[in-house]
Amino acid sequence: MTQDIPAGDVLRAPKRSERLRQRAAWMYFVEEMTQSAIAEALGVGRVTVVRMLAEAKALGEVRIALSRGDAELGGLEAALCRLYGFSEAIVAPLSSATADPTAPIGAALGDHVSALLRNDMKIGLGWGRTLNRSLEYLRERSLRGLSVVSLVGGVTRFAQDNPAEFPSAFAHAFNADCYLIPAPALVDSAATKEALIQRCGLGEVYDFAEGLDAAVVSVGSLGSEAAIARFALIGEADRKALREYGGVGEMLCNVFDREGRIVEHPLNQRVMSVPIGSVRAAPIRVLAAGGAHKQAAILGAIKLLKPTTLVTDAATARRLTGGPG
């Protein structure tokens, strides 16, 4: 099923019943909450939730996008742009401050990226859970001359979904050419990295990644829940050492500190990623991330990448703007 909540008329605030229906549909289709949980969160009966979801279907609300009539979301977006200098901020609704923001951010990201894509465009992509969740919300179509560039290598072991498949799946959605870095995200030495680039053909991908029109990345923490830990890219001992060096997060497996500086640690010299400088040179830079455990990482990533657009959730937006999460 395709899922949509209309953007709404920016000249009028939506009625309470309309806002309630949109919130219920978002919680059900994006956050995958049960009807009983939605009823409790909204303070209505379960029968009311069933009716609102049926109305959403009957009204043709097929693809979930943010309701631009939500005054709080608009205020948070404006505050983020003012505080951090973003050209645009997109804040996804969240049912509660403790809810997992991955799916809501992914839904908002899929809608946003679908709108910015053009013919003859070159877009660089990272990978991870948040970006993967955007795939089901992309508006698939064929774009002439679109090139997708993977910005980082992959993983050597995974249980179910491979997070590094995001760029190729994204390219498939738009019938685009795809350029991959067919190497582990982290190799054993700086010398191996240099050899792969210079003598194994990866230099062509690195060269092609110069002059990106847009880049879309996420950010990870250095905790045990992070992708670099779950996929055994960086062990606990190394993550502890990186934290002692001031590391707070990673972008494309490059570990950085609170000031957005790449940490001077040998591990960062072994990362098979397009240089952050090349990513930062793209005129459109989209950072998608949220969650209380990523607070320090997001703040450092903003300084490192200087994103033109931030896609996040309401609880994270409140924390970033000085309010309670």
Q: What is the pLDDT of residues 201-252, one digit of tens each?
A: 899 899 999 999 999 999 999 987 777 877 778 888 889 999 999 999 999 9
Residue 7: pLDDT over 90? no
Determine the 3-state secondary structure of 136 from DSSP: helix
Which tokens in the block code for residue 16? Answer: 């309470």
| Per-residue confidence band for 55, with pLDDT thresholds at 50, 70 and 90 | confident
The pLDDT of 252-258, averaged and rounded, is 96
Which CATH number fits the domain 4-64, given the four candidates 1.10.10.10, 2.60.120.10, 1.20.1250.20, 3.80.30.10? 1.10.10.10
Cα dihedral 34, 69, 318, 283 sign: positive
Domain topology for 71-320: Rossmann fold (3.40.50)
Alpha carbon distances (Å) from 266 to 242, 271, 274? 10, 10, 17
Count the neighbouring beta carbons within 10 Å of the beta carbon of residue 312: 30
Domain ranges of the chain: 4-64, 71-320
Q: What is the pLDDT of residues 150-166, one digit of tens each?
A: 999 987 666 566 767 89
**Reported pTM:** 0.80
Q: What are phi and psi of 161, to 5 degrees?
A: -80, 140
